[in-house]
Amino acid sequence: MILAAIDIGTNASRLLISEVQIPVDGEPVFNKLNLIRVPLRLGFDVFETGEISKEKKGMMFQTMKAYAHLMKAYGVHHHIAVATSAMRDAKNSDELVRKIFLETGINIKIISGDQEATLIYESHVAEHLNADSNYLYIDVGGGSTELTFFSNGALAYKRSFNIGTIRILKDMVTEEDWDFMKESIKEHIKGRSSMIAIGTGGNINKVFSMSKKKDGKPLHIDLLRDYHREFSTCTLEERIFRYNLRKDRADVLVPALLIYIQVLKWAGIEEIIVPKIGLADGLIQHLFAEVMH
C-alpha cells in the first residue's frame, strides 16, 4: 500500500510518500519512497498582513498541482493533507483550500495546534524507547512550537504555543508568550524523573547533521548553545556561505535554536534525541490507522 502525507507549514510544505508493507504476523513496515520540500514561507505574508498574498497563492497552487502529479506517478492509494499555523491565522485560507481541492483533488484540513501536537506524537518514536523514561517531544515550526509529554507509556500533556521561528523573526513573540510557555513547562513537565527530549522539525535535523553525531546519539544543550552563539555572530550571508545553508534555513536556524534551548532549560533536560521524524511521519501513521479501520 502506498500512502502520502502533505504538511503545509509556516516556512515550508512537504510531501512524504511511503510504502507500507504489512507482514502476516508483525508490525507494519514504513519505507520512505520520497520526501519533497518546497519553501513556500507563507508566514512572512500572514504574520504581516493577516492573509496569503497573490504571489504566495500562485506558488501554493503550483506546489499542490505538482504534488498531485507526483502522487499519481507513484500510484498513491490514500493521501492526507494538513496545514498548520500560517494557514490557521490567514483570513483567506478557506477560499484557498476550496480552490486547491477543486483544481487538484487535494483536500487540505487546517488543524489546531493541539491536533498538530497529537499527530507528531503519532509517529510513535517513544514506543520504541525505554518505557521507564519520560519523553518530551519538542516540535519547532515557523508559526508555533508543539510540546507533547509522554509519561509512563501514556500521553500526559500536550500544548501548542504561538512561538515560532518566523514569528520571532517578525518580532511578534512577546515576553508574555515566553512566560506562558515557561510556566506551563514548570507546572506540567519539570521535575519528573529520567526525562528525555525528542526534537522534531527541519531545524533540529539540520543541526544534528551538522554535528556529525551518529544516529541515535543525543545532542547536549551546551552544543545547541555553542551553535546558537556561533550563528548569532554571523550575518545571514556569512551563515549561508560558511555553513552551506539555504537562505530559507539560515534565517530560521537562530530563533529555532533559541526555542529548543529555552524549552530544555525550563524542563530541566540536558540532552535531546533527534530521530529525523516530523509531522508528515505522524500523518502517514495516522492515515494508515484510519485506512486499516
Q: How far is residue 267's CA from residue 264's CA, in Å, rounded to a whole number?
A: 5
Q: In this predicted structure, which of 108-117, 263-272, 273-282 has the lowest mean pLDDT?
A: 273-282
Residue 289 lies in a domain: no
Same domain, 234 and 103: no
Count of domains forming the chain: 2
- At 91-103, the pLDDT tens digits run 999 999 999 999 9
Residues 34 and 153 in one domain: no
What is the residue-wise DSSP string for 204-232?
HHHHHHHHTPPTTPPEEHHHHHHHHHHHH
CB 81 within 8 A of CB 290: no
Strand 271-273 and strand 134-140: the pairing is unpaired
One-letter amino acid at 258 equals L
Categorize the per-residue pLDDT at 123 as very low, low, confident or very high, splitting at 50, 70 and 90: low
* pLDDT at position 143: 93
Does residue 257 belong to any structural domain of this protein?
yes
Q: What's the confidence (pLDDT) of residue 247?
A: 92
The answer on 131 and 108 residing in a single domain is no
Enclosing domain of residue 192: 127-277
pLDDT classification of 237: cutoffs 50, 70, 90: very high
pLDDT band of 122, cuts 50, 70, 90? low
Strands 2-8, 108-110: pairing kind: unpaired
Whether residue 25 is found in the same domain as residue 166: no
Residue-level length of the chain: 293
Are residues 144 and 99 both part of a single domain?
no
- Three-state SS for 80? strand
Shared-domain flag, residues 217 and 143: yes
Residue 30 has which C-alpha cell?
514504513
What is the predicted pLDDT for the residue at 126?
A: 53
149-175 confidence digits (pLDDT tens): 988 777 889 999 999 999 999 999 999
Neighbours of 12 (CB within 10 A): 20
CATH number at residue 172: 3.30.420.150
Q: Is residue 293 part of a domain?
A: no
With pLDDT > 90 as the criterion, what percentage of the chain qualifies?
Answer: 74
- Together in a domain, 225 and 253: yes
Taking residues 59-63, report their average pLDDT: 97
CA distance 291 to 3: 10
Q: Is residue 12 part of a domain?
A: yes
